[in-house]
Amino acid sequence: MSSAAADDGYPLHDLRVEVMPEADGKPFICKHKAGDYFTVTDDDLITMGEGVRFPMYSLAAILPLLPAKQRDLHPNDWMNTDAVIACPDPHCGGRFRIIRETRRMHSHSENSALPLDKTSQAEDHA
């Protein structure tokens, strides 16, 4: 983060989403492989390891939760404790664990074309 943007920083956690071993005795139907994973870093970049493939429907079920899991949350928020997502195929035993990793500071000015309006922010939090 540049020093000029130091006052517009916000924290986000890097994430790791990994395929867990088969659950509840149900086999994998959707071509999951236990141990496969992808990471979310640098605010919103998804990286998969070499040879890792993720089924489209599983990815679609996971993606909406990732922005919330990246953020600092209230200690009582259920998103702090609930980190296992089921494959959306009801016949598949696939489960995916979202793991918070490094907490990094990001800059609004480096991630948005819109300027911060500090006046309206103060009103929103009043």
- 10-residue stretch averages of pLDDT, the chain, 126 residues long: 63 94 81 91 86 90 94 92 92 93 88 77 56
Spatial CA neighbour of 18 closest among 46, 42, 37, 45: 37
pLDDT tens digits for 70-104? 999 999 999 989 999 999 998 888 999 999 999 99
Spatial CA neighbour of 13 closest among 98, 86, 82: 98
Spatial CA neighbour of 103 closest among 19, 10, 7, 37: 10
3-state DSSP assignment of residue 110: helix
What was the pLDDT predicted at 106? 86
